[in-house]
Amino acid sequence: MRHRLSTVLGVIVLAAASLGAAPATAAPGLDQAVVQLMTARSQADGSKLAAAGAGTEVNVQRSSPRGDWAFGSSVIKAPNVEGAYPEGWLFLAQRTATGWTAALDGTPEFAELAARAPAAVLGTGEKQTFAANAKAAAARTAAAQAAPTGLSLPYPVGNQWKIIGGPHGWSGQPRPWSSIDLDSRAADRSVLAAQSGRAYWVCSNGGHIRIIHDNGWTTEYYHLLNEIRPNGTPVRMGDYLGLTSTRIPCGGSAGSNHVHFALKSGSSWVPLADKTIGGWTYFEGSSAYGGGARRGGTTRYVGDWIQNYGPETGGRTFENTDNHDVADLGQAESSITVGGVPGNAPANLGVYADVHHGWRGDLQLDLVGPTGTVYRLRDPAPSDDGTIIHETYTVNASASPANGTWRLRVRDVDTNHSGYIDAWSLTF
């Protein structure tokens, strides 16, 4: 069979003399098309991994009943040497009369194919995630690249893990230095999702997970043990992904238990320098694996421990100062519309409430998220005879999207007194 191959960085078309009607897993040309595409992408990024000859994988995870669409992961494996890591992508491919058209995740071509893919290959929720990720990544300016990411670190908020490798490339020395190596100080070595999104496994035998977030960022996790095997699975910030280990399922090396955690925007690795993740802003050293992280006046270097402060987004505050009456045994709501905050709300959303009432112990306060999720701020306290609530509450609102309409709901549960909402605010 003779093939005609045309390629750009985001898409490849392989024309075959005979296409037949075989299922996607056996269709002639699919593997070759995807391997050629990811090899071209890797070389364009300046990587020499394909030339190392450690092998490739094309893992078809879903196909259409007619066999004319396929979705899965693809990998250029790494040799088992220090500083080497496999390069992986999700791919989507369509077979037409002229052959297979394939594209890699994070590219405009992938987004275009995803919009047309049948439901058997990509569900509605996945299409929305891919579209939102592509749109946010494309709209990100140079200034926004250096802004807080809305991401947590990949372990529990409040816990401290050790930096065992500062900013370095996904494969060691080569730039951009998009990755950091982290290890637990406790018996619990659980690696957690850094933010909500959709998770996918990459290597055929596990250990490597990618999460695509709707705020334009993509996070990568390698060396996982006892990991989940997601296939477009929705995850929330803090969901379990696996354990730190020394596993190298698609090659590379690891001298001690850790997670190799990395950041992409669209289809490209991006430097961690000046990014804020988990409350820390990262800086490079004079060579790969050096540097560290800063928070206010505190600096941490390789070998130091850093606490995960969750997905801080830069302290943006939104407020409503209109008065809303709360009748005796009544209920009132005041709304705030939030825009321009990427991803989901943080795990430490600040909610300030200024409420006046004849007997504040009669009041129940709730925060209602954009999708209707209710977060209890204050329960009634019958013996509390104060008349003013000036309180700031910290809410784990990571289950709710940041953007949209938020409401402060105040309910009077007992007789004889009334009051009003004076003002309230949200700090992201």
Q: What is the pLDDT of residues 328-386, one digit of tens each?
A: 999 999 999 988 777 788 888 889 899 999 999 999 999 999 999 999 999 999 988 88
Is pLDDT of 47 > 90?
A: no
- Helices 108-116 and 124-139, packing angle to 10 deg: 160
Q: Quick check: 2 pLDDT over 70?
A: no
Cα separation, 192 vs 246, in Å, equals 17
Per-residue pLDDT band for 19 (boundaries 50, 70, 90) equals very low
Q: Assess whether pLDDT exceeds 70 at residue 314.
A: no
Q: Which of 155-164, 170-179, 310-319, 414-423 has the lowest mean pLDDT?
A: 310-319
What is residue 146's predicted lDDT score, i.e. its pLDDT?
57
DSSP code, position 64:
-
Give phi and psi for 155, each to the nearest 5. Answer: -155, 170
The dihedrals phi and psi of 324, each to the nearest 5 degrees, come to: -135, 120
- For residues 222 and 395, what is the distance between their CA atoms, to the nearest angstrom? 31
Q: Which of 180-194, 300-314, 403-417 is least confident?
A: 300-314
* Confidence class for position 186, pLDDT limits 50, 70, 90: confident
DSSP 346: P
Q: How confident is the model at residue 16 (pLDDT cuts 50, 70, 90)?
A: very low
Enter the tokens of residue 20.
Answer: 């037949």
Residue appearing with tokens 């998009």: 178
| C-alpha to C-alpha distance for 209 and 242, rounded to whole angstroms | 9
Report the alpha-carbon angle 161-193-240, nearest 5.
85
The model's pLDDT over 103-120, given as tens digits with 9 standing for 90+, comes to 999 888 998 999 999 999
What's the rounded mean pLDDT across residues 127-145? 77
* Radius of gyration (C-alpha) of the chain in whole angstroms: 25
Rounded to an integer, the average pLDDT of 33-56 is: 91
Closest CA to 38 of 73, 80, 85: 73
pTM beyond 0.75, yes or no: no
